[in-house]
Amino acid sequence: MSEIAPKQSNLPLEYSTKQNQLNILGFWIFLGAELALFATLFATYLVLVSRTAGGPGPEELYELKTVLIETFLLLTSSFTCGLAVYEMRRGKQAGMIGWLIVTILLGIGFLYFEIEEFILYAVHEGATMQTSAFLSSFFTLVGTHGLHVTIGIFWILIIILQVLKRGLNADTARKVFISSLYWHFLDVVWIFLFTLVYLTGMVS
């Protein structure tokens, strides 16, 4: 166990050790690198979006209703994840776990609609990764985000189990906080998917 940092008594539990503070800073550096990763995928998509090779283009595939459902599911899950950290900082373990479970359920709902959307494109509209450069970059970009959401769901689930086993201490509070940063970040990426991929694709 790391030594308790002296001046930090007014900071939340997840910042209570020097090691915890470094871990949280390290995770922000990781998020900066994730920004660069998604930027390359966005750049690839935006350059190739008009290369449809005779296959369906964005305006024929995207449906506002599905995209809005996905957006509001993920946005609400980001809100409930924020409430979980809020409850944790009030020392309410049960409230925190409750909101984390709601967050996971909303995340699963988001994935359900996204997988349904992919199946609709690939099976019913014949728009697969192999169809065109536009679709290759679309599935890579949106799929990478979906993979992140999947990882986030399992990550938060495992941390819930650990909190149930060990209770809230400096270690578990830090893990909950860092996973919440990750989840909020996925919503930040989705805002740009929603805007630069879907809305821009549907504007005529």
Partner 1 sequence: MAQNEKGFPWKHVFGFLLSIILTLLAVWITFSTDLPTNTIITLIVVLAFCQAFIQLLLFMHMKEGESGSWQATMIYYGIYIAIVIVAGSIWVMSLGHQHHY
Contacts with partner 1 by CB under 8 A lie at: 5, 8-13, 15, 21, 24-25, 28-29, 31-36, 38-40, 42-44, 46-47, 50, 64, 68, 71-72, 75-76, 78-79, 81-83, 86, 89-91, 168, 180-181, 184-185, 187-188, 191-192, 194-196, 199-200, 202-204
Which lies closer to partner 1 via its Cβ, residue 138 or residue 194? 194
- Report the number of secondary-structure helices (H) and strands (E) in the chain: 7, 0
Task: Please give the sequence-ordered ranges of beta strands (E in DSSP) within 41-177, or none if there are none.
Answer: none
CB of 83 to partner 1, least distance (A): 6
Q: Please report, as a single letter, which amino acid is at residue 157.
A: L
d(CA 9, CA 158): 28
User: Using an 8 Å Cβ cutoff, are 148 and 181 in contact?
Assistant: no
Closer residue to partner 1, CB minimum distance, 49 or 160: 49
Query: Least distance in Å: CB of 122 to partner 1?
Result: 26
Between the CA of residue 110 and those of 68, 78, 80, 132, 169, what are the distances in Å?
11, 12, 14, 26, 31
Q: Give 123 or 199: the residue with its C-beta nearer to partner 1.
A: 199
Shortest Cβ 4–partner 1 spacing (Å): 13
Token digits of residue 86: 């809020």
